[in-house]
């Protein structure tokens, strides 16, 4: 079970500014690459890490073995951080990292059913194999109206209605069970000039987001994590598509804004205080060299904010 090199390690470490005795949270441990770098950066730093993927937790545990005693791993969604922190016995943290999206290992594992390139792979797409909701259930059991909404909102797919119409016809003949079947339906549904090799990418992204609830509660979770930061603590978030990035950007902007009362008011009545300083006016992107070595990093954006007192 091999995991690829984590994305923008140097940039993440600079953003986190790992300090002596600091406590850090890696909410998306994956294979433990970023977690390893955080613990290696400072021999007195401690770490709590989560991932809802059982294979990821197993790989991270092996990767972090040299730092035994300085970290705690939990198989959990990072959005349940309140429970995780209570179990770990921590109240405040000095920094956190969320590496959102799907891992290269998940894409490359055929039986996980994430990749539209694997024609015979089952339609699964679950990051947590304990979840009852699979891509196969979404594709075969959701109403046409729900599917159109998902493709439009989560995939920003222009041809959502035509894709869903053809999908509805296909499932009358039998359940759609493989990535190849879904990919073929998408390719047959879009105009010929748009049938490039990755035209199914948006549909697969949309269904994956629905299956895993990737955007559900992200705003509230990010806000809550920032409020768990100690003064000068850092919030680092890696995103891979515009929907995630928009949520992160909006949360940072909102928490970086102070009083919103009209300028004509003699005193503040809204009580809003500036909570963070945004350290990345524009998101950091991977270097050309990193993109050449790891194509997944091409779509990555890193945003960093610093907690104020």
- The residue extents of the domains of the chain are 9-101+215-307, 108-212
Residue 305 DSSP SS3 = strand
What CA–CA distance (Å, rounded) separates 299 from 286? 8
Phi, psi of 237 (to 5 degrees): -135, 125
> How open is the CA angle 180-184-185, to the nearest 5 degrees?
120
Residue showing tokens 């629905």: 210
What CA–CA distance (Å, rounded) separates 148 from 17? 43
Residue 264 DSSP SS3 = coil
pLDDT tens, position by position, 224-258: 999 999 999 999 999 999 999 999 999 999 999 98
pLDDT tens, position by position, 123-151: 999 999 999 999 999 999 999 999 999 99
User: Which H or E run contains 50?
Assistant: strand 46-51
Burial 128-160 (b: 16+ CB within 10 A, else e): beeeeebbbebbbebeeeebbbbbbebbebebb
First to last CA, the chain: 43
CATH fold for the domain made of 108-212: DNA polymerase; domain 1 (1.10.150)
Q: Would you state the pLDDT for residue 72?
A: 97
Among the residue ranges 4-8, 53-57, 70-74, 288-292, the one predicted with the least confidence is 4-8
pLDDT band of residue 1 (cuts 50, 70, 90) is very low
CATH class of 9-101+215-307: alpha beta
């Amino acid at each position: 079970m091999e995991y690829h090199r984590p994305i923008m390690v140097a940039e993440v470490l600079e953003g986190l500014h790992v300090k002596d005795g600091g406590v850090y949270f890696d909410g998306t441990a994956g294979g433990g690459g970023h977690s390893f770098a955080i613990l290696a950066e400072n021999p007195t730093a401690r770490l709590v890490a989560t991932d809802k993927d059982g294979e990821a937790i197993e790989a991270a545990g092996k990767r972090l073995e040299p730092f035994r005693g300085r970290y705690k791993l939990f198989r959990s969604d990072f959005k349940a951080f309140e429970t995780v922190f209570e179990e770990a016995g921590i109240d405040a943290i000095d920094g956190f990292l969320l590496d959102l999206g799907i891992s290269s290992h998940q894409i490359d594992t055929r039986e996980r059913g994430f990749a539209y390139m694997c024609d015979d792979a089952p339609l699964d797409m679950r990051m947590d194999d304990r979840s009852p909701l699979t891509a196969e259930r979404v594709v075969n059991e959701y109403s046409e109206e729900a599917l159109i909404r998902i493709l439009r909102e989560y995939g920003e797919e222009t041809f959502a209605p035509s894709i869903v119409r053809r999908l509805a016809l296909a499932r009358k003949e039998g359940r759609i069970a493989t990535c190849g079947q879904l990919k073929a339906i998408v390719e047959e549904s879009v105009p010929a000039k748009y049938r490039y090799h990755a035209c199914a990418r948006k549909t697969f992204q949309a269904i994956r987001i629905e299956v895993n609830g990737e955007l559900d509660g992200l705003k509230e979770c990010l806000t809550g994590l920032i409020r768990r930061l100690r003064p000068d603590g850092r919030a680092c978030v890696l995103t891979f598509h515009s929907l995630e990035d928009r949520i992160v950007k909006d949360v940072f902007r909102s928490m970086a804004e102070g009083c919103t009362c009209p300028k004509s008011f003699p005193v503040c009545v809204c009580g809003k205080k500036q909570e963070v300083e945004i350290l990345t006016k524009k998101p950091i992107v991977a270097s050309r060299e990193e993109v050449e070595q790891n194509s997944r990093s091409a779509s990555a954006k890193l945003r960093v904010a610093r907690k104020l007192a």
